[in-house]
């Protein structure tokens, strides 16, 4: 129970902030009038306003990180209180919009559209004196993926370009190589094979096996809910891939439908092992965003706790839930909302969203989604063995 005086202090602080913002807005209107008239004092005040806006942007960017880092009960109450009391001024809103357009905001939630990459490669362009670009395969918060011909391996590969990493941190290449080296130890039919790491013009890239197919996210989007027989096959193969990775001490950390490729013959390939950790090491996750995708993140990951293979099994439980019901177990309008639900609420049983679903599926999914790691499946193999047969 949070003491009343703490809430009173929070409420008073937010109300005072809002009053100051209103006064500031009035003053800004006067400054705008003076600026247009060429008044030197007003021009100086306008310059000071720009500094204020930049400071405000920083505060707004860090707000979600602060809220996600403290007690979740307090978070929920502060979040509800703040949502009724805080309104950003027009200038800050426009500034944040410009940042999003420039790629300053990353898509940590499925509702947010990732910014287009600031760096792009054209068909026929060479990269690293070895790769010839064919076409763009997609882009996201960390960079873009291209189909390319590897003249050394004489085969087509997928190139994942990590935009700006080498420029931001000279040690980024070494760190990425270490993560890629760990992922390369995974040799399994259900895990995309990592080839090499390279650097060109300040951009690090990862070359990997190219797999024809579509992501599980695309399949779910197209069909809403998937046939149980298909889901069983996909989850079984994902378990096998995870078991191979965990045996090598590698945790995925960002398992989700978008990171599972389904080939034309319905085989599964898991992609991006270890890259979530690289993004965190390099500070590439957008400010205020948690490492991973909130809809599929385990509570210990949201709270910054110790991770192990069972963290991936939670994500697989959330993925399975999504595939059989058409929605993730927890949703929300913001990453904070999803994260709070993920850490504090119990999921609705899948059968409540898909009438006629066998109780065994409820048991399977809800076991994987237990808040405490020790209450989940112990290993990926144990999870595979528990898959419902009917």
Q: Find the catalytic residue in 150, 254, 312, 362.
A: 254
Is 160 assigned to a binding site? yes
- Establish whether 150 is a catalytic residue: no
* SS3 labels along the chain: CCCHHHHHHHHHHHHHHHHHHHHHHHHHHHHHHHHHCCCHHHHHHHHHHHHHHHHHHHHHHHHHHHHHHCCHHHHHHHHHHHHHHCCCCHHHHHHHHHHHHCCCCCCCCCCCCCCCCCCCCCCCCEECCCEEEEEEEEECCCEEEEEEEECCCCEEEEEEEECCHHHHCCCHHHHHHHHHHHHHCCCCCCECCEEEEEEECCEEEEEEECCCCEEHHHHHHHHCCCCHHHHHHHHHHHHHHHHHHHHCCCCCCCCCHHHEEECCCCCEEECCCCHHHHHHHCCCCCCCCCCCCHHHCCHHHHCCCCCCHHHHHHHHHHHHHHHHHCCCCCCCCCHHHHHHHHHHCCCCCHHHHCCCCCHHHHHHHHHHCCCCHHHCCCCHHHHHHCCCCC
Q: Which residues are catalytic?
A: 254
User: Which residues belong to the annotated binding site?
Assistant: 160
Known binding residues for ATP = 160
């Amino acid at each position: 129970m949070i003491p009343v005086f703490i809430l009173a202090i929070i409420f008073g602080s937010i109300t005072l902030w809002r009053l100051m913002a209103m006064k500031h807005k009035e003053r800004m209107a006067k400054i705008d009038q003076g600026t247009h008239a060429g008044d030197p004092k007003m021009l100086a005040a306008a310059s000071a306003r720009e500094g204020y806006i930049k400071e405000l942007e920083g505060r707004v960017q860090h707000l979600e990180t602060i809220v996600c880092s403290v007690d979740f009960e307090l978070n929920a109450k502060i979040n509800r209180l703040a949502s009724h009391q805080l309104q950003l001024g027009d200038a800050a809103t426009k500034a944040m919009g410009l940042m999003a357009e420039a790629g300053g905001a990353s898509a940590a939630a499925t509702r947010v559209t990732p910014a287009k990459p600031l760096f792009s490669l054209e068909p026929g362009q060479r990269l690293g004196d070895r790769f010839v670009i064919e076409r763009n395969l997609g882009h996201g918060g960390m960079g873009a993926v291209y189909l390319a011909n590897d003249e050394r391996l004489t085969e087509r590969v997928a190139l994942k370009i990590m935009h700006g990493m080498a420029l931001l941190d000279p040690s980024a290449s070494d760190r990425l190589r270490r993560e890629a080296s760990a992922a390369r130890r995974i040799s399994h039919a259900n895990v995309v094979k990592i080839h090499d790491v390279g650097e060109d013009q300040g951009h690090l890239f990862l070359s990997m096996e190219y797999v024809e197919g579509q992501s599980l996210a695309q399949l779910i989007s197209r069909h809403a809910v998937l046939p149980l027989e298909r889901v069983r096959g996909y989850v079984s193969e994902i378990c096998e891939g995870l078991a191979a990775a965990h045996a090598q001490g590698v945790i995925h950390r960002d398992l989700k439908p978008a990171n599972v490729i389904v080939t034309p013959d319905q085989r599964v390939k898991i992609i991006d092992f270890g890259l979530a950790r690289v993004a965190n090491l390099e500070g590439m996750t957008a400010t205020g965003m948690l490492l991973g995708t909130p809809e599929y993140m385990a509570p210990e990951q949201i709270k910054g706790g110790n991770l192990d293979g069972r963290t991936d099994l939670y994500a697989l439980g959330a993925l399975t839930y999504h595939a059989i019901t058409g929605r993730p177990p927890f949703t929300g309008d913001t990453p904070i909302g999803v994260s709070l639900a993920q850490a504090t609420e119990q999921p609705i049983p899948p059968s409540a969203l898909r009438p006629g679903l066998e109780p065994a599926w409820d048991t399977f999914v809800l076991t994987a989604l237990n808040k405490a790691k020790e209450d989940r499946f112990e290993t990926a193999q144990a999870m595979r063995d528990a898959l419902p047969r009917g």
